[in-house]
Amino acid sequence: MIDRPLAITATGMVTGVGLDTYSSCAAIRAAIDNFQETRFMDEQGEWIQGCAVPLEEQLQGARKLAMMLCKALEECAAQAQVHLEEIPVIICLSEPERPGIPENLGNKVFFLVQEFLGLPLHRDSAVIKQGRAGGIYALKLARDILYQNKLNHVLVCGVDSLLNAHSIRYFETQDRLLTSHHSDGFIPGEAAAAILLSPPQCSQQNQLLCMGLGFAVEQATISAGLPVRADGLTQALNMAFEEAGSSMNDMDFRIVDVAGEQYWFKEAALALSRLLRVHKQGFPIWHPADCIGEVGAAIVPVCLAYLKVAFEKGFAAGSNIVHHASNDDGQRSVAILRFGAWSEQ
C-alpha cells in the first residue's frame, strides 16, 4: 500500500466524556472517565458501572445510535468544510450475532441518519457489521473507493453501544463484564466517531498517514478455552508491515482497542515479543477505552481521531504507530500509521 496511503484530514467524536473531538480527547488524555451506575444490576444485586453518552434528547436503541453518529458526522464535515451528501460514508456497526443487537440495525441506522441529517447519503455509502475490527476493514474499503473511483474524500465512521439489558446480561454470564464479583472484565460504554480520509497531499507539511493494513483470524479466541497464542494478530501485523514497508522495530508506540480483560493484553504482549527485534527503553500502549468503556464498533475511529489530536497538540509518543483491533470471534485487523510529510515515491 506504500503507493496508496490514506491521510486522515478531519474528525468527529461523541463519547461519554465529551460531545465533540477535542473535549473527548482532553478527557482521555487527562484520564478522566464518566463511569457511573447504570440502571442494570449484577447477579449480586449491585449496580453495574457504565459510560453513557449524555445527549439532550431522550433517545434509545437505533435512534440514539443514529443521533450520536449524526453529531460526529456533522463535526467532521464542518471541520473539513465539505458536504456530507457528496462523500461516500462507510458506517461501522456491531456484529449482528452479538446478543442485544436489534434486527436490521444496519438499515435502521442508515435511514435514520439520513432522516436526522435531512439529506441523502452518497450512493457509494456502505455499512460494515464487523464489530471492533470492522473499522480497519472499513479503511481498506475506503482505500479501494478512493483510488479506484479517483475521489477526494471518503468518510469512515462507527457507532455502537453495549448499554442494553441483553448485551450486559450475556457478557455477565460469560464472566466478561466488570462487576462487584468479577474483576477481570470491561465496563460497557457507547460512542460514535468519524474520520475523513483523503489521498495525501504532496507537501512538506506533516500529515497523519495510514501506510499499511493487515488482517487475519485467530483460532485461540477468548472463548475457546485455549492458551493465548497471538498467531492471528502476529499474522495481521506481518501483513500490515509488509504493505507499509516497515517493521515493529520502526514503531514508536501502539494504540489498541483493549477495554479490559487480561486476554487482550496478553495477546498484544505476545505479538510484540515475537516481532520486536531491537531493545527499546519504552514502548507505550494507549487504550482510550480506559476512559470511555467498551464501545465496540466505534473504537477504531475513536483511536484514529485521538491520534490526530495527539499530533496536533504535540503529546504523541513518536511518529510511527501500530494500531490493532480484535473481535471475540477471532478477527484481527492492523493499521500502520505515520505522522510526517508525503512526497511521490
Q: Are residues 85 and 224 located together in one domain of the fold?
A: no
Task: Tell me the H-state helices in 118-175.
Answer: 134-148, 165-173
pLDDT per position as a tens digit, 307-321: 999 999 999 999 999
pLDDT per position as a tens digit, 81-127: 999 999 999 999 999 999 989 889 999 999 999 999 999 999 999 99
Quote the CA–CA distance of 154 and 194 in Å, as a whole number. Answer: 11
Q: The domain that contains 56 carries what CATH number?
A: 3.40.47.10
In a domain, 1, yes or no: no
Q: Are residues 152 and 225 located together in one domain of the fold?
A: no
Q: Are residues 212 and 187 located together in one domain of the fold?
A: no
Q: Are residues 176 and 248 located together in one domain of the fold?
A: no
pLDDT band at 4 (very low <50, low <70, confident <90, very high): confident
Q: Are residues 168 and 223 located together in one domain of the fold?
A: no
In a domain, 73, yes or no: yes
Residue 189 · residue 51 · CB < 8 Å: yes
Q: Where are the beta strands (DSSP E) in the chain?
A: 6-14, 36-41, 47-50, 89-93, 126-129, 154-161, 190-198, 203-217, 253-256, 285-286, 320-326, 331-342
CA distance readout (Å), 66 to 91, 105, 145 = 10, 10, 24
pLDDT per position as a tens digit, 53-88: 999 888 889 999 999 999 999 999 999 999 999 999
pLDDT band at 1 (very low <50, low <70, confident <90, very high): very low
Q: pTM of the entire structure?
A: 0.96
Average pLDDT over residues 254-274: 95
pLDDT score at 345: 56
Quote the CA–CA distance of 15 and 68 in Å, as a whole number. Answer: 9
Domain that holds residue 313: 204-342
Measured N-to-C along each axis, helices 61-80 and 105-117 cross at an angle, to the nearest 10 degrees, of 50
Q: Are residues 117 and 14 located together in one domain of the fold?
A: yes
